[in-house]
Structure 1
Amino acid sequence: MPKTDLKPPLILLAEDNQANIDTMSDYLESQGYHLILANNGQQAIDLVRDQRPDLIVMDIQMPGMDGLEAMRRIRDDRQFMHIPMIALTALAMPSDRQAF
């Protein structure tokens, strides 16, 4: 097999619950992904600007700036519009989903 210089995708995990961080990071790292972690929306925005991840996994309910606001601000910057984002939430009511 020829050697490639492809680096594993970088995933930003924005999550404030340690159990969720442990579960998701253990799985994603076992699959060969590199992770960076943010505990709130502002940290997520800062890491997007500094690290330019390939994918963002964003918890919606975090202290300080929530995930929805962080996602809006990231999308407002044209240079980051191409980064896929996955929103995570424990909200299960149909009325909660309208916010997305």
Structure 2
Amino acid sequence: MNYPNWSNELESSSFSSGQPPVDKRPVILAVDDNPDNLELLTQILDLFGCDCVGAVDGYAALSAAVDRPPDLIVLDICLPDIDGMEVVKRVQQNPDLRHIPIVAVTALAKPEDRARILQAGCTEYLSKPFNIKDLETVIRQHINSPLVLVEF
């Protein structure tokens, strides 16, 4: 019987490299103190093909970012402990985190709020309620990984 030479094929595969398979999904830290909003955001990001880590307040967000640095942070500004502006400031002060883009998703919708939030260091701004396509566009601009196209 003629058997295929599997060993040559296995040697060239990623499984024989000694490296474990890597999850290529971008990691996004979603921060919102409203559990319903956080759950919705988590589900949307999952549909986009992202691995979402959630946090319900500023301290939890900072802790999560240090434990598992995300590719992007989606941040509510009005939080119960330290507000989103302080989270942005602390992320920017951390040399290991300062490169992470931060997208503000907030109910603060006045033009002066938008200007203040962007000046504080957020790379993008979306007001609540946000359009899912706008969120997808913003994420695509800042993640170096293709996202799953989802039609809504």
TM-score (norm 1): 0.87
SS at match of 2:116: coil
Partner Cα distance (2:55, 2:38) in 1: 10
Partner Cα distance (1:31, 1:95) in 2: 31
- Work out whether 1:51 is the aligned partner of 2:91: no
- Work out whether 1:14 is the aligned partner of 2:61: no
Q: Which residue of 2 aligns with 1:86?
A: 103
Partner Cα distance (1:98, 1:27) in 2: 26
Contact map agreement 2:35 2:56 (CA 8 A) in 1: no
Partner Cα distance (1:61, 1:20) in 2: 13
Partner Cα distance (1:14, 1:45) in 2: 10
Letter of the structure 1 residue corresponding to residue 71 of structure 2: D
Bigger relative contact order (CA 8 A; separation at least 6) = 1
Shift of 1:84: 1.0
Deviating beyond 3 angstroms after TM superposition, the runs of 4 or more aligned structure 1 residues are: 2-6
What root-mean-square deviation, in Å, do the aligned CA atoms of Structure 1 and Structure 2 show?
1.8
Alignment of 1:30-69 (within 5 A): 30-69=47-86
Deviates more, 1:90-99 or 1:54-63: 90-99
Letter of the structure 2 residue corresponding to residue 31 of structure 1: F
TM-score (norm 2): 0.59
Letter of the structure 2 residue corresponding to residue 17 of structure 1: N
Identity in percent: 36
Partner Cα distance (2:22, 2:109) in 1: 42
Shift of 1:6: 5.0
Gaps of 5+ in 1: none
Letter of the structure 2 residue corresponding to residue 27 of structure 1: I
Q: Aligned residue pairs: how many?
A: 99
